[in-house]
Each structure stands twice: as C-alpha cells, then as structure tokens.
Amino acid sequence: MKRLLFLLIPVALLLGWLFVRGRGLVEVPFARVARETIVSTLNTNGKVEPIEWAAAHAEIGGPVQQIHVSKGQTLHKGQLLVTIGQPDVEAAMLSAEARIKAAKAEIETLDQGGRASEQAEIQSSLVRARTDLKNAQTEYTTLLRLAAKNAATKADVEAARQAVERAQQQIQSLERRKNSLVTQPDRSAAEARLQEAQSGATAAAQRLTTGQVRSPANGVVYRLEVRPGGYLNPGDLVAEVGRLNQLRVRVYVDEPELGRVQKGMPVTITWDAMPERKWKGFVESVPLQVIALGTRQVGEVIATMDNPDLTLIPGTNINAEVLSKTAENTLVVPKETVRRQGVETGVFLLDGTKLAWRPVKMGISSVTRTQIVEGLKEGDLVALPVERTLKAGDEVKPLIQ
C-alpha cells in the first residue's frame, strides 16, 4: 500500500503541473507584416468661413420696418437689406412735402397774375371802364364840334372833358390794382417758403437713409440677424455678406501633429448635415502659434476649397482629413501592435510559441496602419493587444489573423 502511494504521488504532481501549464497558456491574436500602400492622414475638425466677406450694421436704433432680402440671396453692393422705422422723420417728410406742394401752387398762381377770382373781377371792371371812356370821348368830341358852331355851351364841353378824365383815372386805378395782385415781395416770400420746405424734405430724406441698411459688398447673404417686428440698436449686426464660391476652413490640428502638416497638402472636408458630400481643398498656410481650444492645444491650419453650388455654409463645424504623405509597397502593421517599453518603441514578435521583443523604427501612419521602416520583414507575426500584460519570453497560444 505504501509502495503504491509512493508511485502515485509523482504522477499526481506531473498531472497537476501539466494542468496548470495548460491553463496558463494565453491565447494571443497575431497580425502578419505585409506590404501595402499606406496613406498618412490626419483627422480632426474645423470651421468654415468666407474668404471675402463684409458685415452690415445698424446706424440708428428703431423697429425693423421691412426686411428686403432673405438668407442665401445673392446681392450687389448697395442693395437694400433692411429698413428701420423712424416715425418722427417720416412725419417730418410728409409735412415738408405738403409745404412744397402749397408753395409751388402759390408760385404758379403768382405766375398767372394772381388768384383767378380777383383777376376776373378786375378784368370785368376794366372792360366797363374802357367802355365808359370810349363813350365819354365820343361825347366830348361831339360837344367840341357843337361848341365850335355855338350849338353847345362851354359848361357842357367841360363836363364832357371831366367825364373822360374820370374814365381814364378809373382805368389807371384798375391797372394799378391788377399789377398789385403780384408783387416782388409776394414772389420772394413764396419762393422762400418753397426753399424752406425743400430743405426740410432734403433733411428728412437724409435722415431716412440712415435707417436704410444696405449691402456692404457683392455676395451672398449667409447670416441675417433680424426678424420682422424686431428692434435694432445702433451698431447691431444686421447681416453678413460674402463670396461663397470659394471658402476658407480653419482646421484645428493638435500640437503634436502640427509637424506633419505642410503648405499645399490636400484636404478633404465632410459635414455631418450632408454626410454623402465631400469638398476638396488644400492647405494654404500653417500656423505660427498654438492656441487653446477647450482642453486642446491646437494650431489653426488654413485651407481653401471650392464651393461651386454654395451648399457649404460659413460658420459650419466640419470634419477635416489632411492627406500628408503616401508610401507605396511598404511594410505595414496595425497601429495597435506597436508598443512602448521604456524609451523603446517596438512589437512582440512570435518566435516559435514564445514572444520576443523587437524594437522598430516607424514611418508614416494612417488611421489604422503604421509604416515599419526598420526592425521587421514581410511575413513576420506581431502580437495584437490582449487583456493580459505581455512580456518577452511568454509562451502563448497564437491565433493567426
């Protein structure tokens, strides 16, 4: 019995060791080093703005009386955008126009010799007076002939002569009255009233123009900050007008990635509101400083792009992909296979059934792949991440992907 027990103990220990060894073998997925064409891209975000634009502001305060344009409308410089109501100025304009009309009517009456009723009365009196004069002159002539024949007395002749004088004086009086209907002071006063009314109208018109907000440039209204019935204060923004067939994009590149960006690199823009669309452009300039953007430290890379159908809107938050470099027929591995140990960058290489640490030198990277310039060869198997911490010398169960 003791001898049997002595033989079973080594067997049990061996089985236990094999069990523990089998249970501790970690399954690790491996990727094969392959040759591919890799495109280094930098994915980030940005904001769209027009290259050429101008803002229109309210010069005066007042209620929005009328909006003459709509967002997205193409305008020419000076086109009326918004009219700001000015009730007191509009009343002054109406009053001035009424005074102008009255003054012009008065001058027209003066040009015609005075009011028609007075002219008619004087003219009628003149007709009667001239008839009386004619009759008196005929009577006087007749009496002179008769007196020469001693057929009329001197008293009759004198009476006839006086009748002629009275008729002449009556006509002279009526002529003076007719001429007095229109005097130079009357004309001067009427013209002065007309000039004063016209000056008032001009001043009111100039004041009304301050309530007319006009487009500061040719372009498209891409921002309209007014609504019917609203109120504007002096200096308030009314609209922004810009040229939208070509746009500028501020691409926010994190500080560690700025070295990868150079002038002239292609840029692709996408917008979440139109996910099926893409806009192509290029890097126009790289930043000279780094700024804070929320919790990020970024440089503002400026890109330009065409927008022929005007669908991309200034102020839009966009996604940007900068194409930095391309390497053809080069060794690549999945990005996640590259690790750091101390100051070294490398991968875990499959050596038989064990892991071996292999330092590598990397080149460019895409979103998912990294170029290996030195340290690996085509066909090598490199370990992908697992939950367990790996180290050189670990024996593993490889899963080849």
**Percent residues over pLDDT 90 in the chain:** 47
Give the number of other CB atoms < 10 A from CB of residue 163: 17
Asked if residue 19 is part of any domain, the answer here is no
Assess whether 368 and 380 both reside in one domain: yes
Q: How confident is residue 177, by pLDDT bands cut at 50, 70 and 90?
A: low
Average pLDDT for 378-388: 94
Determine the residue type at 176.
R
Assess whether 226 and 79 both reside in one domain: yes
Asked if residue 20 is part of any domain, the answer here is no
pLDDT in tens, 96-129: 788 888 878 767 766 665 555 566 676 777 778 7
Assess whether 98 and 202 both reside in one domain: yes
Assess whether 108 and 197 both reside in one domain: yes
Assess whether 222 and 289 both reside in one domain: no
Assess whether 171 and 307 both reside in one domain: no
The mean pLDDT of the chain is 85
Please determine, for residue 185, whether its predicted confidence score (pLDDT) is greater than 80: no
Please determine, for residue 280, whether its predicted confidence score (pLDDT) is greater than 60: yes
Asked if residue 371 is part of any domain, the answer here is yes
Q: What is the pLDDT of residue 6?
A: 52
Helix (H) or strand (E) holding 271: strand 266-271
3-class secondary-structure state, position 49 = strand
pLDDT in tens, 215-244: 999 999 999 999 988 999 999 999 999 999
pLDDT in tens, 15-24: 544 444 444 6
Assess whether 376 and 395 both reside in one domain: yes
Look up residue 385 and give its DSSP letter: P
CB-neighbour burial class of residue 28 (10 A; exposed 0-12, middle 13-18, buried 19+):
buried
| CA angle in degrees (0–180, nearest 5) for 105-110-112 | 95
Range among 18-32, 142-156, 287-301 rated most confident = 287-301
Asked if residue 16 is part of any domain, the answer here is no
- Which residues are registered as beta bridge partners of 361? 374
Q: What CATH number is associated with residue 364?
A: 2.40.420.20
Q: Which residue has the tokens 């150079």?
A: 262
Residue 122 belongs to domain spanning? 92-206
**Percent residues over pLDDT 70 in the chain:** 87
What six digits make up the tokens of 246?
Answer: 């070509």
Assess whether 48 and 59 both reside in one domain: no
- For the entire predicted model, the pTM comes to 0.54
Assess whether 303 and 349 both reside in one domain: no
Assess whether 248 and 229 both reside in one domain: no
How many folded domains does the chain comprise?
4
Assess whether 99 and 193 both reside in one domain: yes
Q: How confident is residue 366, by pLDDT bands cut at 50, 70 and 90?
A: confident
Q: What CATH number is associated with residue 74?
A: 2.40.50.100
What six digits make up the tokens of 184?
Answer: 């130079």
DSSP codes joined into one string, 372-390: EEES--TT-EEEPP-SSPP
Q: What CATH number is associated with residue 251?
A: 2.40.30.170
Segment among 2-6, 203-207, 223-227, 379-383 with least mean pLDDT = 2-6
Asked if residue 11 is part of any domain, the answer here is no
Assess whether 164 and 79 both reside in one domain: no
**Which domain-ending residue is among 206, 230, 254?**
206
Task: Report which of residues 171 and 165 the model is more confident about.
Answer: 165
